Every structure is written in structure tokens, then in C-alpha cells.
Amino acid sequence: MDQKSLDQFKKILQARLIELQRSTLQARHEGRIVESNDSKDEGDRAVSSLTKDMLFRQSSQNAAMLNAIKSALGRIENTTFGLCLNCEQEINLSRLKALPWVRYCITCQELMEEQK
């Protein structure tokens, strides 16, 4: 992959990283509000535990995504970006454009999903 495309992917990934970090902070902040909102009302408590669940799920998804983005940025640094981590073939460019943090080519991804 040429340097220009690498730079473009780097910019996209960094922007996504910042956005995610911001939303992780936001989720944590909201979680704290929910926790401090210690209501005696059963309905309120049910809502608050649902909200907590949702925030928790969101923050673990965010964490997984953050890791994927960070490792993609790492691969840009060590010039293995765009290569499948399994078969080491180049990942289709349109797949990379849609999901710049993907680790595997479509063939390997499908194989892995079949094995699950």
C-alpha cells in the first residue's frame, strides 16, 4: 500500500479513536449519574439498572473497538497494515475503506465465523 493511502487510513483511524474516547468518557459520566440517582421507586430502579446495563454494554463494545483501532494504528506504524493477520494476503481495499480496523480478509473472516 502506498504512503498516501496509509496516511489517509491513519487519519480516519485517529479521528475514530478520538471520537470513541470521547463517547467512553461520556458513558462513564452517565453511569455515575445513574449510580448517584438512588431512587426508592421500584420503577425508577428498574430503569436505572437497564440504563446501567446498556452503558456497560456500550463501554465494553467501545473498549473492544478501541483495541481494534489501536492495533490497526500499530500496524500502520510497522507497515503491516492492510495485510490479513491470518493468511498475510492483502485485504480488499474497499473492505478496508469500510472497516479500516479489520484484522482479516473476507475469506479468513468467513472461515472463522463458520468455526464458531
Q: Is 84 in the site for Zn ion (CB under 5 A)?
A: yes
Q: Is 112 in the site for Zn ion (CB under 5 A)?
A: no
Smallest gap from residue 28 Cβ to Zn ion (A):
36
Q: Is 76 in the site for Zn ion (CB under 5 A)?
A: no
Q: What angle do CA 8, 10, 11 make, to 5 degrees?
A: 65
Smallest gap from residue 116 Cβ to Zn ion (A):
17
The residue nearest Zn ion at its CB is: 84
Q: Is 27 in the site for Zn ion (CB under 5 A)?
A: no
Whether residue 9 contacts residue 94, with contact meaning beta carbons closer than 8 Å, is answered with no
Give the separation between CA 102 and CA 29, rounded to whole angstroms.
29
Give the separation between CA 16 and CA 90, rounded to whole angstroms.
23
Q: Is 108 in the site for Zn ion (CB under 5 A)?
A: yes
Q: Is 86 in the site for Zn ion (CB under 5 A)?
A: yes
Smallest gap from residue 97 Cβ to Zn ion (A):
17
Q: Give 90's strand partners.
A: 83
Give the separation between CA 62 and CA 56, rounded to whole angstroms.
10
Residue ranges in contact with Zn ion by CB under 5 A: 84, 86-87, 105, 108
